[in-house]
Amino acid sequence: MELKTFEKILSDLRKKQYAPVYFLTGDEPYYIDQVSDYIQENVLDEAEKTFNQTILYGKDTDAVSVMNAAKRFPMMSSHQVVIVKEAQEMGSIDDLQHYIENPLKSTLLVLNYKYKKPDRRKKVFKSLLQHSVYLESKKMYDNQVPAWISGYVASKNCTIEPKASILLVEFLGSDLSKIANELDKLIISLGEEKKQITSGLIERNIGISKDFNNFELQNALGKRDVVSANRIINYFADNQKSHPLVLTINTLYTYFSKILIYYWIKDKSRDNLAEKLGVRPFFVKDYVEAARNYNANQVIRIIALLREYDLKSKGYKGTVISPGDLLKELIFKILH
């Protein structure tokens, strides 16, 4: 077989085009769970599942048990399903090689191999590459997630404000399962209203402030808006648990690094800038404005400041200043 995309695998499953072996691996569990759950819920009807669906766990099983289950013929059904969850914990997975090369066609054997990278030098994984539907589910970078969010809500006949996407990523990171769960709840909360997720809706339902967050702080700094920046950092100083200094510094480091890249991009069309900076086109105007407010030398100095205060926040050279005061000091130096 071959490496397949999540979309292709799900499309084939919906057409009832089944394969004998599915190997689902990678450090992004969302796609692995989506494929595995679809097979578990949809290949067999409820009556067939009683005799023809087996769920095993890697910690509690071995290759012999998996093969014995997979080699059974279905009862009163065209297929049977055997799902091995946490297959990366199964110590004897190497012993599955011969079954993988000669599987029973009426069985769907699903191996969920999360978080641990398969050693492709081993024969069993070479066999899986050749003889299974092989999904490699890779973790997304944070800057890729907003586009994924837009696609996800579009599939639910909904839209989302660009700022709202950024808020979700800032709050939840790149955990697609958590994001999808929160999006589903937000879409339900919309009812029959206009199907758009806004930053206000997120604030009311998830508790993320649409005014006091790292995204708004970087915008205030980009505009050199001293009043707004100080309002935000005072809020951060009073709420350090939900706005840790190290996360703010990392966010600003990424932001100013992109502004520095901006200066060296020759083609400054919106779409080219969006591609080169790794942002959505909607946000390009913010980087253009920031580049007008800071010259390249100032940005280089700011990046050096961010590195310095990152070390101070970690106690370098015995720094004992509180995180809130360090942040205020840092932002003052950036703005002035």
CATH of the domain at 33: 3.40.50.300
What pLDDT is stored for residue 105 in this prediction? Answer: 95
Q: What is the pLDDT of residues 204-242, one digit of tens each?
A: 888 777 788 898 999 999 999 999 999 999 999 888 888
Domain boundary among 117, 137, 157: 137
Question: Would residue 133 count as lying in a domain?
Answer: yes
Domain boundary among 168, 189, 206: 206
Q: Do 125 and 33 fall within a single domain?
A: yes
- For the residues 166-191, what does the mean pLDDT come to? 87
Q: Do 127 and 25 fall within a single domain?
A: yes
What pLDDT is stored for residue 163 in this prediction? Answer: 87
Q: What is the pLDDT of residues 164-175, one digit of tens each?
A: 888 888 888 888
Q: Which of 39-43, 279-283, 317-321, 327-331 has the lowest mean pLDDT?
A: 317-321
Q: Do 132 and 159 fall within a single domain?
A: no
Q: Do 176 and 224 fall within a single domain?
A: no
Kindly state the tokens that stand for 200. Answer: 């206000």
Place of tokens 């999904």: 135
Question: Would residue 131 count as lying in a domain?
Answer: yes
Question: Would residue 178 count as lying in a domain?
Answer: yes
Question: Would residue 246 count as lying in a domain?
Answer: yes
Range of the domain at 14: 6-137
Question: Would residue 177 count as lying in a domain?
Answer: yes
HSE toward the beta carbon, residue 89, CA cutoff 13 A: 9
Interatomic CA distance for residues 52 and 79, integer angstroms: 7
Q: What is the pLDDT of residues 84-111, one digit of tens each?
A: 999 999 978 999 999 999 999 999 999 9
Q: Is 9 strand, coil or helix? A: helix
- For the residues 60-78, what does the mean pLDDT come to? 94
Q: What is the pLDDT of residues 189-209, one digit of tens each?
A: 887 766 889 888 888 888 777
- For the residues 305-315, what does the mean pLDDT come to? 90
What pLDDT is stored for residue 212 in this prediction? Answer: 86
Q: What is the pLDDT of residues 130-160, one digit of tens each?
A: 999 999 998 888 878 988 999 999 988 899 9
Interatomic CA distance for residues 258 and 263, integer angstroms: 9
* Mean pLDDT, rounded, of the chain: 91
39 C-beta neighbours (distance < 10 Å), count: 21
Q: Do 85 and 184 fall within a single domain?
A: no
What pLDDT is stored for residue 321 in this prediction? Answer: 84
Domain boundary among 137, 166, 197: 137
What is the maximum span of the chain, computed from C-alpha positions, in angstroms?
Answer: 77
Question: Would residue 182 count as lying in a domain?
Answer: yes
Question: Would residue 1 count as lying in a domain?
Answer: no
Q: Is 268 strand, coil or helix? A: coil
Domain tally, the chain:
3
Which of 14, 70, 80 lies closest to 45 in space, CA to CA? 80
Interatomic CA distance for residues 97 and 125, integer angstroms: 8
Q: Which of 78-87, 270-279, 293-302 has the lowest mean pLDDT?
A: 270-279
Q: Do 97 and 126 fall within a single domain?
A: yes
Is residue 23 within 8 Å of residue 136, measured between CB atoms?
no
Strands (E), the chain: 21-26, 53-57, 80-85, 107-114, 133-137, 159-160, 196-197
Q: Do 245 and 199 fall within a single domain?
A: no
CATH of the domain at 264: 1.20.272.10
Q: Do 185 and 117 fall within a single domain?
A: no
User: Taking 70 as the threshold, does the pLDDT of residue 311 lie above it?
Assistant: yes
Which of 196, 135, 126 lies closest to 165 in space, CA to CA? 196
User: Taking 80 as the threshold, does the pLDDT of residue 328 lie above it?
Assistant: yes
Q: Do 17 and 61 fall within a single domain?
A: yes
User: Taking 60 as the threshold, does the pLDDT of residue 2 lie above it?
Assistant: no
CA of 323: how far to CAs of 47, 187, 212, 327, in Å?
Answer: 59, 37, 17, 6
Q: Do 202 and 218 fall within a single domain?
A: no
Question: Would residue 74 count as lying in a domain?
Answer: yes
What pLDDT is stored for residue 319 in this prediction? Answer: 67
Q: Do 173 and 156 fall within a single domain?
A: yes
Is residue 45 within 8 Å of residue 53, measured between CB atoms?
no
Interatomic CA distance for residues 185 and 66, integer angstroms: 37
CATH of the domain at 183: 1.10.8.60
What pLDDT is stored for residue 106 in this prediction? Answer: 96
Q: Do 201 and 231 fall within a single domain?
A: no
Query: What is the separation, in whole angstroms, between the first and last Cα of the chain?
Result: 60
Which of 111, 116, 138, 118 lies closest to 23 in space, CA to CA? 111
